Amino acid sequence: MAGDGGYLTTHVLDTAQGVPAAGLRIELFRLNGDARITLGEFTTNVDGRTDAPVLSAEDFTLGTYELVFHAGAHIAKSGATLPEGVFLDAVPIRFVISDPAAHYHVPLLLSPYGYATYRGS
Alpha helices in the chain (DSSP H): 71-77
pLDDT given for residue 42 in this prediction: 97
Task: Return d(Cα 42, Cα 17) in angstroms, integer.
Answer: 22
pLDDT given for residue 63 in this prediction: 96
Q: Enter the CATH code of domain 7-117.
A: 2.60.40.180
Measured CA to CA in angstroms, residue 117 lies from 4, 9, 31 at distances of 26, 13, 20
Average pLDDT along the chain, 121 residues, taken 10 residues at a time:
74 93 97 95 97 93 96 80 76 96 96 93 83
CA angle 17, 19, 24 (to 5 degrees): 95
pLDDT given for residue 2 in this prediction: 46
Alpha helices in 17-109 (DSSP H): 71-77
CA angle 69, 40, 54 (to 5 degrees): 75
Listed by start position, the domains of the chain span: 7-117
pLDDT given for residue 3 in this prediction: 46
Beta strands 114-117 and 25-32: pairing type? unpaired
